[in-house]
Amino acid sequence: MTLTPPTHRLRRLAAALAGAVLVAGSLTTMTAQAVPAGGHGKPVVTSPDLGPNVTIISPDMSTSEIKGTLAAISDKQLNDEMGTNRYAVLFLPGTYGTATEPLHFTLGYYTEVAGLGANPGDVTINGSIDVYNRCLGDGGTSNCIALDTFWRTLSNLTLKIDKSDVADGCKASANFWAVSQAVSLRRLDIGGANLSLMDYCSAGPQYASGGYIADSRLPYVISGSQQQWLTRNSDVDGWSNGVWNQVFSGVVGAPDDSAFPDPPYTTIAKTPLSREKPYLYVDGAGTWFVRVPSAQQNTSGVSWSHGMTAGRSIPLSEFYIAKPADPVSRINVALAQGRNLLFTPGVYDVDRTILVQRPDTVVLGLGHATLTAQRGATPLRIADRPGIVVAGLTMDAGTKLSPVLLQVGQARGHAWGRTSSTRNPITLSDVYFRVGGPHVGKAVTALEINADHVLVDHTWIWRADHGVEDFTTGVEGDTDRWNTNIGRYGLVVNGDDVTATGLFSEHFQRYSTLWKGNGGRVVFYQNELAYDAPTQADWTQPDGTLGYPGFKVADRVRTLSLVGGGVYVYSRNNPDNVTTSGFEVPDRSGVTLHHILTVNLGAGTITHVVNDTGGQVDNSNTGTPQFVVDYPTP
């Protein structure tokens, strides 16, 4: 996401925790000692081999040792937007940092930090975990923004903010989380000071472009310059400000939205369908598990307020632990044998489809594990079977055209059949998609959903608007990107009763989202139209309609609801390009849109917000949205 585009958009596993060796798809474990909180007793920890890019932090490590370990990762990753490094940092149960020596660290690209407790209170960090603006100009001294701070994760711990030892008074005033897409905060208990979703210290308040919080207890939150945000199933002490699109679903303490669009808040009392993301934890005996939360309907607040999140625990020994060098054939054998699948951090070159076909299979990625299509493959295909959960993965298009990067369910009539479940939906959590960026990318469709009763809980589907590719000249905005970085469709939904909570889809050459199924529900939608269409002819539909809407509902759809959505235009290559409407939906009472907007970011025109309703945004009203409260009008 760019508003003013930038120029270009461990400690190793401790020896005491050395663990299992993966041999021919089997998990062989060794025992190791780890000191629990308080330092009394030494339970045995069964530690799996999670690869060289997983760092396990133990409470017997000194604060200075932990700082050095985390700084080594952060220093690598703070500017490594298009790199191949992937890291996960896992804190064993215990307390880290003290009143006299708080623990401070920052998160860079492709880094996941998580506690290994059954509940967030089992891991406590006294200090701060920050993300600041990234300065992109003049050798890192100017153009300090958060528009490109992507791909990082923080979850399952308690953060007691303590910056009493921070000399910079501005940076001591809050815990900063200045981020944009593909970033999640989950299962957190944060207190002690404010949480700021923008960095107002690095060159003053600057742009930030959206994020996601779920299942967390929050202090007072300064939203500031965040253009759009979804907070789901959480508790919040207070919330300040909103730029264009701030959505709250099932949030205790959420702001009132009766004055929409000033401020631009959208509040839903209960989330219609939710399932929290699976997480690793270590029990009191030192055994590793993956907790798989159950799906819930019509809920609010955190899932862990009265004990462990409802669900099931699977011993990690029932997972195939994949490494980047593992062939797909071995992974598929393990899945066919009934194993679950855990991807350790890294980039996986996938030259044939990974097939997930058994009900209730869990596929979990650590450290933003990335599956990159090779030779035009579809990297991952999920059968239409109840309870399959995929979480924590990035699907990356390769240099040869793939038909789709992730397919959920086969087309109707396929031999696999359709056996989805309303109570146990197929679920995608923090699953991201990238077409281009670190290299040329080509995919017809990023995510295709053919199954019914699917839940998509936070995704960013991105056809890259910037990167390191040399598209003829290597200059960002070069028109050859349109012909080289191929991404026709972001999300295509063919199934019925599909729910999306936190849907970001951007820059595709036709429809970023094309919804063909009935009974769809979308809680929060954010879209930017393609930046790089060279001419109006390139950006015109076959029937002569100018432009492709950012959210398209097929004419045959009879029921769908969308709550809290925005479509933005920045036609960088041709500011004269026109898009007829930001949202295009059939005119019938069962298809409803609530609190939607369009906005111009500096170039291009959207004539209407939805169909022929709502005002025009263009270069004369840059940054000033046009809103529609409800469509159709009650």
Alpha-helical (H) ranges within 207-351 are 328-336
> Which residues is 598 bridged to in the sheet?
567, 626
The dihedrals phi and psi of 143, each to the nearest 5 degrees, come to 50, 55
DSSP 278: P
pLDDT(611) > 70: yes
Q: Which amino acid is at 193?
A: A
> Which residues is 369 bridged to in the sheet?
393
Task: Considering only residues 452 and 13, tell me which one the structure prediction assigns the higher pLDDT.
Answer: 452
Cα(360)–Cα(295) distance, integer angstroms: 12
Residues 178, 144 contacting (CB under 8 angstroms): no
pTM for the whole thing?
A: 0.92
Catalytic pick among 469, 476, 506, 528? 528
**Above pLDDT 90, what percent of the chain?**
85
Q: What would the pLDDT profile of 567-610 be if each residue is shown by its tens digit?
A: 999 999 999 999 999 999 999 999 999 999 999 999 999 999 99
Pick from 360, 373, 324, 367: which is nearest to 345 by CA? Answer: 367
- With respect to residue 295, please indicate whether it lies within any of the assigned structural domains: no
Q: Which amino acid is at 28?
A: T
Element containing residue 505 per DSSP (H, E): strand 499-506
pLDDT(31) > 50: no
What's the whole-number mean pLDDT along residues 306-324? 97
Q: What would the pLDDT profile of 239-286 be if each residue is shown by its tens digit?
A: 998 899 999 999 999 999 999 999 999 999 999 999 999 999 999 999
Measure CA of the first residue to CA of the last residue in the chain; give whole Å. Answer: 34
Pick from 612, 613, 611, 617: which is nearest to 628 by CA? Answer: 613
What average pLDDT is seen over the chain? 90
- With respect to residue 204, please indicate whether it lies within any of the assigned structural domains: yes
Cα(455)–Cα(431) distance, integer angstroms: 12
- With respect to residue 629, please indicate whether it lies within any of the assigned structural domains: no
Pick from 476, 475, 451: which is nearest to 465 by CA? Answer: 476
- With respect to residue 402, please indicate whether it lies within any of the assigned structural domains: no
Peptide bond into 263 cis (omega under 30): yes
**pLDDT value, residue 478:** 61
Q: What would the pLDDT profile of 461-493 be if each residue is shown by its tens digit?
A: 999 999 875 444 455 556 688 999 999 999 999
pLDDT(4) > 80: no
DSSP 318: G
What's the whole-number mean pLDDT along residues 157-183? 97
- With respect to residue 131, please indicate whether it lies within any of the assigned structural domains: yes
Per-position DSSP letters for 548-586, written without gaps between them: --SEEE-TT---EEEEEEEEEEE-SS-TT-EEEEEEE--
CA 161 to chain centre: 24
**pLDDT value, residue 522:** 98
Cα(358)–Cα(364) distance, integer angstroms: 15
The CA-atom distances, in angstroms, between 602 and each of 3, 34, 180, 362, 565 are 7, 55, 19, 43, 20
pLDDT(516) > 80: yes
What's the whole-number mean pLDDT along residues 531-545? 97
Strands (E), 295-388: 296-299, 311-315, 319-322, 340-343, 347-350, 354-356, 362-373, 380-382
Pick from 187, 370, 150, 381: which is nearest to 279 by CA? Answer: 187
- With respect to residue 147, please indicate whether it lies within any of the assigned structural domains: yes
Q: What would the pLDDT profile of 60-111 be if each residue is shown by its tens digit?
A: 999 999 999 999 999 999 999 999 999 999 999 999 999 999 999 999 999 9
The CA-atom distances, in angstroms, between 559 and each of 232, 274, 520, 564, 589 are 23, 20, 7, 17, 8
Known catalytic residue: 528? yes
- With respect to residue 512, please indicate whether it lies within any of the assigned structural domains: no
**pLDDT value, residue 46:** 63
Residues 70, 105 contacting (CB under 8 angstroms): yes
- With respect to residue 42, please indicate whether it lies within any of the assigned structural domains: yes
Pick from 496, 583, 573, 506: which is nearest to 539 by CA? Answer: 573
Structural domain count, the chain:
1
Residue 207: which pLDDT band, with cuts at 50, 70 and 90? confident
Residues 260, 280 contacting (CB under 8 angstroms): no
The CA angle 328-332-336, to the nearest 5 degrees, is 175
Q: Radius of gyration (Cα) for the chain, nearest Å? A: 23
Residues 87, 78 contacting (CB under 8 angstroms): no
**Above pLDDT 70, what percent of the chain?**
89
Residues 301, 233 contacting (CB under 8 angstroms): yes
Q: Residue 90: which domain range?
A: 15-274
What's the whole-number mean pLDDT along residues 195-217? 91
The CA-atom distances, in angstroms, between 133 and each of 76, 148, 198, 346, 390 are 16, 9, 8, 25, 30
What's the whole-number mean pLDDT along residues 161-165? 97
Lowest mean pLDDT across 174-183, 348-357, 411-420, 549-558: 411-420
The CA-atom distances, in angstroms, between 39 and each of 36, 97, 290, 423 are 6, 14, 25, 43
Cα(545)–Cα(547) distance, integer angstroms: 6
